[in-house]
Structures are given as C-alpha cells and as structure tokens.
Structure 1
Amino acid sequence: MTNPQVLSPVTLRCQFCDTCNRVDLARAADRPKCGECSKPMLLDRPVKVSDDDFDVSILESAAPVLVDFYADWCGPCKMVASLVDEIAQEHVGKLLVAKVDTDRAPKVAGRYGIHSIPTVILFRDGEEAERSVGFEPDRVRAIAREASV
C-alpha cells in the first residue's frame, strides 16, 4: 500500500557536497540523505540558498517556503536568525525554511526589492504570499503557522 501523505518535493543543495537533491519534504522524518555523498539533508534547520539555486529550490518548491533575507553584519538579522531556526524545527516536514545572504545573492535580493534587512518572505507556488520587514517575531511566527497548516 502506498503512503497517503501528500508529496511535497523540493530541490535542495547538499550543504556538504553541493549536489542538488530532490527531497520530499513531507517525508522529512525519514531523514533523507544526499544521493551523492550519503550525508543527511538537514531539513530541521534553514537551508542556505544562493543566486544559483534560488529558482529551483524556492520558486519550484511544491511546499511553502519561508525565506529569511539577511546579512552577516546586520544586528537585527541575528535576532531573526534564532527565530527562523526555531521555526524550521517546529514546522519540519510542513514548511521549508531557507536563508539568503543578500551580500552573496545580490540578484535575488534585487529581484525581490530587498532594501531593508532582515526581510522574511513566504513563497507559495513560486509566488510571494507574505512579507515581513524588520524584526517582527510575532508576525513571522504567524506567517509560518498559517503556511504550515
């Protein structure tokens, strides 16, 4: 008998070997492994995404994706980072949580008009659905909660 869970395929780059892997987010509890290096695909924490893999990882995702646009030098971004880490753990298997360093991914930051950081955007079906600018922990939690239903 087949698993009745809804498939939520996402394409993610392995943080260890940089190979792109197709992963079913709904089966995150099965602890998927990279097809190349066999190391775990860590879905209980935010995945880092760059200009090179943003479209395939975020826009082509079947699952909703919460993206934290940040920079290493930004103080408020560090406060949002711990919140986003918690959200990734709380919503594993239902919501993909990603991070985009705006200094290293200027094309994506420009495409989405990221002028202030931190900015958190929820993407559904490849489209921006919600946006939070600045440190708004309650709003970001509400966006994540609604997206993972």
Structure 2
Amino acid sequence: MTTPLHTVCPHCDAVNRMPPERLGEAPTCGKCQASLFTGQPVDLSGARFLKHIERSDLPVLVDFWAPWCGPCRSMAPFYAQAARQLEPRVRVAKVDTEANQDIGARFGIRSIPTLALFHGGREVARQPGAMDTNGILAWVQQHLR
C-alpha cells in the first residue's frame, strides 16, 4: 500500500489525504467539495502561505511578484500556462510581495519576479527573473530530480 499524500485545498485550505495514484483523477476536497487542482496559480498570503508549503507533500512552486512590476506582469501568462502543465504533480502559487511584505522579508526576496520551489516545508531552489513557460517548466523539472 502506498503512503497517502497530503495536499492543501486551494479554496478552503483544508488538508486532504489521498493515494498518490489518485492525483490524476480530478480529486475534490473532502471539506468543501471543490476541485483540489484548478490548473491556475493559487494566490497565497499570511497563514495560507505557510499552510500550503508546510502541510503539503507536493512540491510548491511560488512566484513572488508585485502588481507594479512590469516583468512580473509579462511573466504572468507564462506562469499560468506552466501551472496547467505542472498540476497535479506540483502546487503552483503566487505571493504578492507588496500586499505581503512580511512573507517577502521572511524569505529574503530581494528582486521580483522570483520563483521559489518548496518541498517538505523547505525551500529547495530559487530563481530570480522573468521566464517563459518552457523556462519555468525546465527549471522546475531540473530541481525535482
């Protein structure tokens, strides 16, 4: 028997347990019944951010960005396209560093956009600068090996 994976619902933040082989079966949250994987980046802030990176067994890719940042806005459609391809193997999230300055400070975000990959509650890789979809996918795959 395989060990169940914990994944945090992008809607209600409930922690769900499921067998890894069910990830591709469009699983829904046991609490709110919404889809656990939407193919879109999840906006995270405050305690939601910590819950998603600390309680999920899935890797969590985070885009640290700000609304006034031109490169951040130009990368957004590429990041959304990457989310559609990475889920359900990776949770894809965004953190607005303007609205969540405490998170940016806690993780030492010095430039935006910055991608950070978390796994098991720890940061495993970081990449500053805008990238296209293929660049994002290649970078994530490189660090998940």
TM-score range, shorter chain: 0.7 to 0.9
Counterpart pick for 1:99 among 89, 94, 98: 94
Q: Which amino acid aligns with 2:93?
A: A
Q: CA RMSD in A?
A: 2.4
Query: Structure 1 residues 19, 92: closer, same or farther in 2, change over 3 A?
Result: closer
1:35-94 residue CA offsets vs partner (Å, 9 max, x unmatched):
444333334221111112112101332111111011122111122222221221112221
- 1:64 correspondence with 2:59: yes
Query: Structure 1 residues 28, 47: closer, same or farther in 2, change over 3 A?
Result: farther
Q: Name the % identity.
A: 31
User: Alignment partner of 1:52: what SS?
Assistant: helix
Q: Which amino acid aligns with 2:139?
A: I
Partner of 2:49: 54
TM-score, length basis structure 1:
0.79
* C-alpha deviation, 1:108, in angstroms: 1.1
| Alignment partners' CA distance in 1, 2:4 and 2:38 | 15
Partner of 1:44: 39
Query: Structure 1 residues 147, 97: closer, same or farther in 2, change over 3 A?
Result: farther
User: Alignment partner of 1:53: what SS?
Assistant: helix
For structure 2, the 5+ residue unaligned runs are none
Query: Structure 1 residues 59, 96: closer, same or farther in 2, change over 3 A?
Result: same
Query: Structure 1 residues 94, 86: closer, same or farther in 2, change over 3 A?
Result: same
Q: Which amino acid aligns with 2:141?
A: R
Query: Structure 1 residues 71, 97: closer, same or farther in 2, change over 3 A?
Result: same
Partner of 2:70: 75
Task: Give the length in aligned residue pairs.
Answer: 143
If each structure's helix is expressed as a fraction of its own residues, which one has the higher value?
A: 2
| Contact 1:71–1:103 (CA under 8 A) maintained in structure 2 | yes
Counterpart pick for 2:141 among 124, 130, 145: 145
For structure 1, the 5+ residue unaligned runs are none
Partner of 2:5: 8
1:73-132 residue CA offsets vs partner (Å, 9 max, x unmatched):
211112222222122111222111111111222221110111211010011221111111
| Contact 2:9–2:16 (CA under 8 A) maintained in structure 1 | yes
